[in-house]
Chain A
Amino acid sequence: MATEHATNTEHALTPSGYIEHHLSFNAHPVNDGVGFWTLHVDTFVMSVALGLIVMGLIWLVARRATSGVPSKGQAFVELIFSFVDDQVKNIFHGNRHSFIAPTALTVFLWVFAMNSMDFLPVDIVAKVVQFFGGEHAKWRAVPTSDINTTFALALSVWILMIFFSVKVKGLGGFVHELFCAPFGSKIWVWPANFLFNLIEYVSKPLSHSLRLFGNMYAGEVIFLLLGLWAATGVSGTIFGAILGAGWSIFHILIVALQAFIFMMLTVVYLAMAHESH
């Protein structure tokens, strides 16, 4: 964090300064503010606001859901509901309605909403923030391009995974599986089994979170580079605008696809935790 504080004062008119400015968080110290104890206010405020907006809108519809002829809003919500429910139904064969399916819906909509913030033009966001927060105010609008968000989601899923694994198989069954799957229960393959499971348990949250983070971060950086190009002159502005529009359109696919992949992996991991080997 110390380096970040140092760069805060750097002027934003050089290319590296421009990118640096757009890629630094609105960080606030919590407790003593040393090391771990920092909160990215922009990430937190954006994600909570988006979560409230998205789930709140769905809740407004769900609250007055009728089994009769649905309104257009309800039909739309039911479309999303059925889409998520079908995906979960194909993967998980237990009682999905008590936890896994609603979790999948939350993950999909929330991640989708957070990814969608990538469509906001970075410099207009910066202008708005500077108007309220002063010359050097920083604001990163895309919570999923903050690794803290994706790790928070992936680690939550990871904890749920272990929780369900222990809940379904019992603590003994969980430990048994650590040593006896996938190669068998002979004692001389225990180390290999354990190593395999260890790698699996480490790689799951890493790939889960870094896939989303990488996609969104890269998308943001490309927008920044195009913004930089647009600042070089008239031709740069024209090409930057055209390519920016193209990248935005392509990004619609990435935003939806990454939200979908994140949801599917969540469901797959939680479903795998329910299966015994």
Chain B
Amino acid sequence: MNINFTLIAQAIAFAVLIWFTVKFVWPPLLTAIETRQKEIADGLAAAQEGKSALEVAAKKSEATLNEAKLKASEIIGQAEKRGSQIVEEAKGNAKAEGERILAGAKAEIDQEVNRAKEGLRSQVSALAIAGAEKILRKEIDAKSHSEMLSKLAAEL
């Protein structure tokens, strides 16, 4: 056990080494490690965020899809309704047109019939008069009977 000047020399060496470590060794290592820890934590947080964002997006896309499906079926239903409506309308129109044409045709037919009747009537009366003339020419004076004959023609 001989305590001597070595003790002081060693204490100085120790102090210098501590100063060196405090000043030059510890800070860069600490900075590097803490920065890396922060980077890793940030990365993990970002990954978590991305995951939740993905979930939200998936939910949203599903909702949008469902909405689109609903809309599509609605549109299809509307179109079907409108189609049948158009068909019904067309049917109604066609029926009305047909009836109108039919009525027109009937009226024309009636007119033709009447005209024919008129024609026939006048022809029959002329024929009757002619026939009667031929018969009566020999025996009866046309003058005396024409009044009766025209009365007859009017009655026909």
Are A148 and B29 in contact, CB atoms less than 8 angstroms apart? no
Q: Is B144 part of the binding interface, using a Cβ–Cβ cutoff of 8 Å?
A: no
Establish whether residues A38 and B13, one from each chain, have CB atoms under 8 Å apart when the complex forms.
Answer: no
Q: Which of B14-68 contact A (CB under 8 A)?
A: 14-15, 17-18, 20-22, 24-33, 35-36, 39
Is A152's CB under 8 angstroms from B14's CB? yes
Q: List chain B residues, Cβ under 8 A from A83.
A: none
Asked whether any CB of chain A lies closer than 8 Å to the CB of B3, the reply is yes
Chain A min CB distance to B6 (Å): 4
20 contacts between A and B (CB under 8 A): A30-B5, A37-B5, A44-B6, A47-B13, A59-B25, A62-B26, A65-B32, A78-B29, A97-B26, A102-B22, A102-B26, A105-B26, A106-B14, A106-B17, A147-B2, A148-B3, A148-B4, A148-B7, A149-B7, A152-B7
Q: Which of B14, B30, B35 has the most CB of A within 10 A?
A: B14
Contact, CB under 8 Å: A59 / B24: yes
Most buried by A among B1, B24, B25, B35: B25
CB–CB B7/A151 < 8 A: yes
| Option from A39, A74, A101 in Cβ contact (under 8 Å) with B9 | A39
Residue A16 at the chain B interface, CB threshold 8 Å = no
Task: Assess the A48–B13 pair: CB atoms within 8 A.
Answer: yes
Q: For residue B19, give the distance in angstroms from its CB to the closest CB of chain A.
A: 9
Which A residues lie within 8 Å of B120 (CB)? none
Q: What is the number of residues of chain B that contact chain A, defined by CB distance less than 8 Å?
A: 32
Task: Report the bound CA distance from A46 to B21 in whole Å.
Answer: 19
B148 within 8 A of A: no
> Is residue B103 contacting chain A, with contact meaning CB distance below 8 A?
no
Decide if A51 touches B28 in the complex (CB within 8 Å): no
**B22 adjacent to A39 (CB under 8 Å):** no
Given contacts A39-B4, A148-B6, contact A103 B33 (CB under 8 A): no
Distance A99 CA – B35 CA, assembled complex (angstroms): 20
Q: Any chain A CB within 8 A of the CB of B156?
A: no
Across-interface contacts of B14 in A (CB, < 8 A): 106, 110, 152-153, 156
In the complex, number of A-B residue pairs with CB atoms less than 8 Å apart: 126
* A67 in contact with B39 (CB, 8 Å): yes
The CA-CA distance from A180 to B74 in the complex, in Å, is 89
A106 to B21, CA, bound (A): 7
**Which residues on B sit within 8 Å (CB–CB) of A38?**
2, 4-6
**A142-179 vs B, Cβ < 8 Å mask (1 yes, 0 no):** 01001111011101100000000000000000000000
CB-based contact B17/A110 at 8 Å = yes
Tell which of A37, A67, A103, A146 touches B36, judged by Cβ atoms closer than 8 Å: A67
Contact of B10 among A58, A68, A106, A153 (CB under 8 A): A153
Q: Which of A55, A63, A97, A148 has the most CB of B within 10 A?
A: A148
Question: Closest CB of chain A to B36's CB: distance in Å?
Answer: 4
Q: In this assembly, does B8 line the interface, its C-beta being within 8 Å of a C-beta of chain A?
A: yes
A155's nearest neighbour on chain B, judged by CB, is: B11
Bound CA–CA A63/B27 (angstroms)? 10
Beta-carbon contacts under 8 Å, A57-104 to B: 58-59, 62-63, 65-68, 70, 74, 77-78, 81-82, 97-99, 101-103
* CB-based contact B7/A58 at 8 Å: no
Separation of A106 and B6 alpha carbons in the complex (Å): 19
Q: Is the CB of B13 within 8 A of A36?
A: no
Q: Nearest chain-A residue to B26 (Cβ)?
A: A102
Tell me whether A204 is interfacial, beta carbon within 8 Å: no
Residue of A nearest to B4 (CB): A38
Q: Which residues of A contact B29 (CB under 8 A)?
A: 62, 65, 77-78, 81
Q: A78-B33, A152-B11, A156-B14 in contact; A103/B21 too (CB < 8 A)?
A: yes
